[in-house]
Structure 1
Amino acid sequence: MTKKEQVKRQPLGCSNQGEFVKHMEEKSKQLGERASGKRNGFAEDKTLQSIINLSMVKDKNPDEIAQIWNMYFASKNTISAVVPGATFELMRSRSQKCPTFLYALPRETGYEFFVGQWSATELHFSSLINVQSLGENSPSQLVIYHYPDLQKEKGIVLLTAEIDRTFLSAQDAQCLANEAQLFYATDCQRIINLVEAFNHKPSDFKHMSVIAEIEQHGIGGQLMRDGSKQT
């Protein structure tokens, strides 16, 4: 237990709080520009129509569309989900005010930090180690796509992702997607304050609070299965 606590005190890609805050202040502009950087060969302007024929689902109800969407990705090594429109609207609204956040991905030796940067309806992730060394040139290792094409008519937003499997697995991607919903779709003021502090008051941000929240909510230990419906 002592060894486990020591590991948690020094997650991968981060040293102590003072150095971390200094780094965040120095890199804040670069973090804001990162989402427009390299994509590692990921598709650009990937539309929903390029994945499914929208005319074929216009007469389907939300549950039927969800079944079609998840069945389509069932055999693919990625993630998919159907997000309630109201949930995504809350996430999008908060992402406009707080586009960047720090996520902790559980590893065998502790946690690895990833920076998530919103760009419209896309959420780009790159490891903190990459951001520290490459700044705005750090490539995206995961891009989560949210498709609001059916939000107004059907009340749902479709989600999928592209993953750089050199660094991340589908399970890793699912964990980060779950964390994004935890931090951006919450009603908990404590969590909201944490996201706001990272974006606007980095000196008040404590990176260990991120780990505390995901452990409290059981993220990482009990990941949602690929293709499950987020609520």
Structure 2
Amino acid sequence: MLPRGGPRRLGDIVKLPLLKRETKDRIGEIWKGYHENRTNAVGRAVEAHHASMLLERAIPAPTFLFPVHREGGHFMLLSQFQKNHVLFTYLEDFKKNPAFARPRLTLALHDDLAKDKGIVLLRGDIEPMLSKPESDHLITQLFDTYLVASRYFAPTTGPLNFTQSPHTFDHDAYLRAYPRRPM
């Protein structure tokens, strides 16, 4: 389930021909600045090879769990990869009816500049259930979980194990090891 009206293309968000004239570093600055004061969206410039590895590793492990810690406890979001998009849905909603589980954070990896500039622009559209700092933390953890080999291949707590051998996934150990967002 992608955002209503389908995923937005990069050209719908920025003037792509003008952006292509800039250096890789300047593109990252522009993208970050564009999203800085928006409460309902986050933006990051990602090295193209990191985005590529993320998407490659998502093929055998397309879903994973991410806790969101708040005072007094936590709730779980389920990440689901769909091509160049990652949807974070409330786990309880997904359990009730996967087809109607509404994304709370929708990430789009725009690879329009990957070949020429070596950069992928990530945009996250945030639903009111999540704060911008929580969304930033989820994005950081998504990349760390899929790109850091020791986390991705962890025998009882990694996404590969979660997908391929869910009966051996150690939920409690995963929660204990999961990095909390600095307050």
Residue 171 (structure 2) aligns with: 207
Q: Tell me which of 8, 20, 24 is aligned to 1:58.
A: 20
Percent identity of equivalent pairs: 23
Residue 63 (structure 2) aligns with: 100
Please give the alpha-carbon distance, in whole angstroms, between the structure 2 residues aligned to 1:71 and 1:163. 17
Which one has more relative contact order, counting CA pairs under 8 Å at least 6 apart?
1
Residue 31 (structure 1) aligns with: none
TM-score for both structures, normalised by structure 2: 0.90
2:97 counterpart of 1:130:
no
Report the alpha carbon displacement of residue 214 of structure 1 after superposing the two structures with TM.
2.4
Gap change, CA 1:115 and 1:157, over 3 Å in 2: same
Q: How large is the RMSD of aligned CA atoms in angstroms? A: 1.6
Please give the alpha-carbon distance, in whole angstroms, between the structure 2 residues aligned to 1:210 and 1:181. 16
Deviations 1:53-91 (A, max 9, x none): 111022211111111111111221121111111111110
Please give the alpha-carbon distance, in whole angstroms, between the structure 1 residues aligned to 2:37 and 2:111. 23
Residue 71 (structure 1) aligns with: 33
Residue 161 (structure 1) aligns with: 124
Deviations 1:163-187 (A, max 9, x none): 111x111122112111111111112
Bigger fraction of residues in strand: 2
Structure 1 spans left out of the alignment, 5+ residues:
1-35, 223-231
TM-score for both structures, normalised by structure 1: 0.73
Residue 91 (structure 1) aligns with: 54
Gap change, CA 1:43 and 1:141, over 3 Å in 2: farther
Larger-Rg structure: 1
Residue 192 (structure 1) aligns with: 153
Q: Give the AA of the match of 2:24.
A: P
Report the alpha carbon displacement of residue 191 of structure 1 after superposing the two structures with TM.
3.5
Deviations 1:13-68 (A, max 9, x none): xxxxxxxxxxxxxxxxxxxxxxx3x74xx451300000111110222111111111
User: Does 129-138 or 85-94 show the bigger shift?
Assistant: 129-138
Q: Tell me if the contact between 1:130 and 1:138 (Cα under 8 Å) persists in the aligned partners.
A: yes
Please give the alpha-carbon distance, in whole angstroms, between the structure 1 residues aligned to 2:127 and 2:19. 30
Structure 2 spans left out of the alignment, 5+ residues:
none
Report the alpha carbon displacement of residue 103 of structure 1 after superposing the two structures with TM.
0.7
